[in-house]
């Protein structure tokens, strides 16, 4: 009790005096200075001698108080200015970028105390570039904080602000409070002129030269490891967002180990012990890594550099498989930011990788992993994925490339994956057949036709899967081929599919090809007749020549695989006589000769179309010369 009383009586006043003494002392000094001046006539003789000393003492105390108030007000205004800048750029209170803004303002203040023109030409962008020129990791981090904040704000100017306003307005309209509650809708907007100037300045100072020194440093920061706690992790997260912004201007051949540093974003292993926030950061790293690679791949030289990088497709596949849990947990939009660019990258890199023995196995990595098969199956079955045209196109191209590459390289699946892979391939082919025969979208129909032609060319098993995908599919394809009213590209795709399937025909699998052989033998004479008669009006168009090339090749393959050497030759020779009569060919020739002549007719059309193209090019050049 005594201690508490002593604390209350003695220590509390001392504590208050310690905290607020400097605020009170100027007023006390001012009051004593005024009293000293006023009491000058009432002072005793001895006290009158103290007046100069008292005036100096109280004046010094007052001056100290004024300086302290100036310091306190300056500190308050500095914090207020930092807050205003942070609100203008939408920097959260927890964001450490505010510390860097404070450092910048302190540098400006200290510089202006020595030179009033110090602040001229300086801003946050020039400050961050200057920090990048140093060799200090702390300065790199400070610069990354500023650049990341500026780029994010400039990229999404107004979007988050409008979203915030809509939410506030919605909450106001849904509120049951009828007492006139006022909602704070104050939003700090940067003037459009300032936004444009800063965008231009960032581009000129950082992205104006291909792979500038600042960009090189930022790319190297992508491979920062968690050696120094959260500090390095923050550096990596901010650097990857800045690199994404400048990715379209990066040239990988100008940055040593650039592709390795960028691919390190795809190598982070998710831990089961990580919290939801940490897992979100992992997915954010994956998503940004995919976006950077996608932007880089738009440049031909970068794409070539990426294609020469071993293991890049495997890393992309691994990330897509690892993030499938997002898809299964119905976080479709988040998963799509990873899988969408990833599938497009596979399609871009696959043709180059397929020509290299060391990389060929990477294309079928999905099919070699149980989780990979499940990931692709989920994409095929997902209704949201079916409704996204870009995802569907990427999936169709990638899957067709994977299956074809695996078939050509004769890779063998693990025993535990065979059933799942077989089910996946059959499901994929069924969806392609449905899109090709019944699809309403022309682009999807053409893509499905090209994929079916690719699959039927590379594998006997794929051909069998196509034939079993739908009852009467051979008849349906034959109807498309023989229907002259159909689109030429559509007919060409159907002819390519039939021709490729006929290539795989053999006596041992005659039962599987029964419907195909029956349909082709029944209608092949119609195809031959169409090629021989031709169309005088369209015979030199590119689509016409490509279609008739496909039809002539189909006739040749059908005759060699299904007719030649069988008892069907006399019947087809009889049909050949009718065709010769209809095209006024005398004397009549056997069916095999008609097939050969059909190929000759197509070759003739091809030569003429090439000559026309060359002539038109020459005419254009002549016209250009005359104009010049």
Return the domain boundaries, the chain.
Answer: 1-88, 471-477+506-628
Q: At residue 370, does pLDDT exceed 80?
A: no
| Whole-number average pLDDT of the chain | 77
Residues 539, 545: Cα–Cα separation, whole Å: 7
Task: Please report which confidence band the pLDDT of residue 19 belongs to, taking 50, 70 and 90 as the band edges.
Answer: low
Q: Which residues contact 88 (CB under 8 A, 6 or more apart)?
A: 188, 189, 190
Q: At what angle do helices 415-438 and 460-469 cross, to 10 degrees?
A: 50
Residues 177, 171: Cα–Cα separation, whole Å: 11
* Mean pLDDT along residues 367-387: 76
587: cis peptide before it, omega within 30°?
yes
Task: Please report which confidence band the pLDDT of residue 170 belongs to, taking 50, 70 and 90 as the band edges.
Answer: very low
* Mean pLDDT along residues 565-585: 86
Residues 217, 392: Cα–Cα separation, whole Å: 37
What pLDDT score does 495 carry? Answer: 94
127-131, 488-492, 577-581: the lowest-pLDDT one: 127-131
What pLDDT score does 165 carry? Answer: 35
Q: Can you tell me which residue has the tokens 């023995």?
A: 357
Q: At residue 168, does pLDDT exceed 60?
A: no
Residues 468, 247: Cα–Cα separation, whole Å: 46
Task: Please report which confidence band the pLDDT of residue 161 belongs to, taking 50, 70 and 90 as the band edges.
Answer: very low
Most confident of 119-128, 291-300, 313-322, 398-407: 291-300
Interior angle at CA 625, CA 619 and CA 628, nearest 5? 145
Q: At residue 390, does pLDDT exceed 50?
A: yes
Q: At residue 497, does pLDDT exceed 90?
A: yes
207: DSSP letter = S
What pLDDT score does 94 carry? Answer: 76
Q: At residue 571, does pLDDT exceed 60?
A: yes
Task: Please report which confidence band the pLDDT of residue 553 belongs to, taking 50, 70 and 90 as the band edges.
Answer: very high
Q: Which residues contact 127 (CB under 8 A, 6 or more apart)?
A: 104, 107, 143, 146
* Mean pLDDT along residues 155-163: 51
* Residue 576 vs residues 176, 184, 481, 484, 558: alpha-carbon distances, Å: 86, 87, 19, 20, 15
* Residue 548 vs residues 18, 274, 371, 552: alpha-carbon distances, Å: 98, 61, 44, 6
Q: At residue 25, does pLDDT exceed 60?
A: yes
Q: Which residues contact 134 (CB under 8 A, 6 or more apart)?
A: 140
What is the DSSP code string of 492-545?
Answer: HHHHHHHHHHHHT--GGGTTTTHHHHHHHHHHHHHHHHHHHH--TTTTTSHHHH
Structure tokens belonging to residue 417? 């994956």
* Residue 250 vs residues 147, 244, 296, 303, 584: alpha-carbon distances, Å: 17, 10, 7, 12, 65
* Mean pLDDT along residues 353-378: 64
Tally Cβ neighbours within 10 Å of residue 515: 17
pLDDT in tens, 216-251: 888 888 887 655 444 447 888 888 988 998 888 888
φ and ψ at residue 183, rounded to 5 degrees: -105, 140
Q: At what angle do helices 569-582 and 591-627 cross, to 10 degrees?
A: 50
Q: At what angle do helices 97-114 and 137-155 cross, to 10 degrees?
A: 110
8 A C-beta contact, residue 580 and residue 588? yes
Most confident of 146-155, 178-187, 315-324: 315-324
């Amino acid at each position: 009790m005594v201690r508490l009383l002593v604390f209350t009586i003695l220590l509390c006043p001392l504590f208050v005096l310690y905290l607020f003494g400097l605020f009170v002392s100027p007023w006390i000094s001012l009051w004593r200075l005024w009293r000293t001046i006023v009491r000058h006539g009432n002072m005793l003789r001895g006290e009158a001698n103290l007046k100069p000393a008292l005036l100096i003492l109280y004046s010094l105390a007052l001056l100290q108080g004024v300086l302290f108030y100036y310091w306190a007000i300056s500190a308050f205004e500095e914090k207020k200015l930092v807050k205003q800048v942070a609100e203008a750029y939408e920097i959260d209170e927890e964001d450490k970028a505010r510390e860097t803004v404070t450092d910048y303002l302190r540098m400006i203040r200290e510089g202006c105390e020595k030179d009033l023109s110090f602040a001229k030409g300086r801003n946050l962008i020039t400050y961050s570039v200057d920090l990048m020129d140093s060799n200090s990791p702390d300065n790199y981090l400070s610069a990354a904080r500023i650049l990341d904040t500026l780029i994010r704000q400039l990229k999404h100017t107004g979007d988050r602000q409008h979203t915030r306003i809509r939410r506030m307005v919605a909450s106001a309209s849904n509120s049951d409070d009828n007492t006139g509650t006022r909602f704070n809708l104050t939003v700090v907007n940067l003037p459009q002129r300032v936004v444009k100037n800063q965008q231009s300045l960032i581009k000129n100072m950082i992205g104006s030269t291909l792979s500038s020194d600042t960009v090189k440093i930022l790319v190297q920061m992508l491979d920062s490891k968690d050696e120094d706690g959260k500090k390095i992790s923050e550096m990596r997260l901010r650097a990857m967002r800045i690199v994404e912004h400048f990715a379209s201007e990066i040239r990988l051949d100008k940055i040593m180990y650039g592709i390795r540093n960028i691919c390190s974003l795809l190598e982070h292993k998710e831990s089961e012990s990580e919290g939801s926030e940490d897992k979100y950061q992992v997915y954010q790293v994956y998503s940004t890594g995919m976006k950077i690679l996608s932007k880089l791949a738009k440049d031909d030289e970068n794409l070539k550099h990426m294609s020469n990088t071993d293991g890049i497709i495997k890393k992309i596949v691994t990330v897509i498989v690892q993030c499938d849990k997002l898809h299964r947990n119905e976080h479709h939009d988040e998963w799509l930011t990873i899988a969408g660019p990833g599938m497009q990258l596979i399609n871009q890199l696959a043709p180059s990788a397929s020509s290299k023995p060391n990389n060929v196995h990477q294309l079928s990595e999905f099919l070699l992993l149980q989780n990979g098969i499940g990931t692709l199956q989920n994409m095929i079955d997902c209704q949201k994925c079916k409704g996204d045209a870009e995802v569907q196109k990427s999936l169709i191209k990638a899957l067709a490339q994977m299956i074809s590459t695996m078939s050509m390289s004769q890779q063998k699946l693990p025993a535990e994956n065979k059933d799942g892979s077989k089910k996946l391939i059959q499901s994929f082919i069924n969806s392609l057949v449905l899109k090709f025969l019944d699809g309403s979208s022309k682009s999807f129909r053409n893509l499905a036709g090209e994929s079916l032609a690719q699959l039927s060319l590379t594998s006997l098993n794929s051909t069998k899967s196509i034939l079993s995908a739908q009852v009467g599919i051979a008849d349906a394809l034959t109807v498309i081929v023989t229907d002259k009213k159909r689109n030429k590209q559509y007919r060409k795709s159907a002819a390519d599919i039939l021709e490729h399937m006929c290539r795989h025909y053999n006596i041992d699998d005659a039962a599987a090809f029964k419907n195909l052989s029956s349909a082709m033998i029944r209608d092949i004479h119609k195809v031959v007749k169409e090629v021989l008669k031709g169309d005088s009006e369209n015979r030199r168009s590119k689509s016409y020549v490509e279609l008739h090339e496909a039809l002539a090749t189909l006739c040749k393959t059908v005759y060699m695989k299904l007719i030649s050497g069988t008892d069907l030759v006399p019947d087809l020779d009889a049909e050949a006589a009718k065709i010769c009569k209809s095209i006024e060919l005398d004397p009549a020739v056997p069916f095999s000769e008609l097939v050969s002549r059909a190929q000759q007719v197509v070759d003739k059309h091809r030569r003429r179309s090439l000559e026309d193209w060359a002539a038109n090019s020459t005419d254009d050049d002549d016209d250009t010369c005359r104009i010049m």
